[in-house]
A = this chain, B = another copy of it.
Amino acid sequence: MTYQYAYPHPAVTTDVAVFTLQNQQLQLLLVRRARAPYAGSWALPGGFLDIREDLEACARRELLEETGVSDLYIEQLYTFGHPERDPRERVISVTYYALVPSDRTRLHPGSDAADAAWFAIDDLPDLAFDHAAIIELARERLAAKTLYSTIIFQLMPETFTLSELQSVYEILRREQLDKRNFRKWILGLDRLEETGAKRRNGNHRPAKIYRVKNPGLIEYIR
């Protein structure tokens, strides 16, 4: 069966840049392409839009099918449509970025992709299509959001120490922050509470453990 149109139609895909934090590094989720073009290359999870499917639903579905990751924070990033960006046919890609807390990064790659894996953001393999540009834009957007939004809490596990949280901000902004000023600022947002527990983690004083007060809420700050 084929589908006919009076005028040529581009294909539409969604692609998602999924970030998490592991080993004190910002990590990105990639899938190895099973088929041409770019067979064997790594790429962002994503794929073709079903004709009755919402755009964000497509992004979430492809992500689930290819990597097993679901239930994450996701937001539209930008739409890429350079006429030559896919060698097969004209493809418009509506891209998203997403954040997974570091305690929910287990992968169950499905049949669509041969493999799925996390990569440190500063050590990515060669990427299919224009996916390197998509990732760079997503990283910039995320860094900018650390300045005026509480979106970063979406990257945190259930509980964490203030030092761990500070290191997330430092990784995203690519700069060191002053410990006392950071603590004053982040506690002043009134979005963290102590759990009462402490974490022993090496031969030194244990750290207080915090949780986010209202984890789903993303606020504009400053």
Contact = CB atoms under 8 A, between A and B. Distances in A.
Interface of A: 2-12, 48-49, 51-55, 76, 78-79, 81-83, 90, 92, 94
Given A76-B79, A79-B79, 8 more contacts: A3-B6, A3-B9, A9-B9, A9-B11, A9-B12, A12-B81, A52-B83, A54-B83
Q: Which of A6, A48, A78, A90 has the most CB of B within 10 A?
A: A90
B94 A79 contact: yes
A5 B12 contact: no
A10 B78 contact: no
Nearest to A84: B52
Contact of A92 (B2, B3, B6, B92): B92
Nearest to A147: B148
Contact of A12 (B6, B12, B48, B82): B12
Contacts of A51: 7-10, 90
Contacts of A9: 3, 5, 9-12, 51
B55 A7 contact: no
A92 B90 CA distance: 14
A83 B56 CA distance: 11
A145 to B, nearest CB: 13
A81 B96 CA distance: 14
Given A8-B3, A12-B10, A94 B81 contact: yes
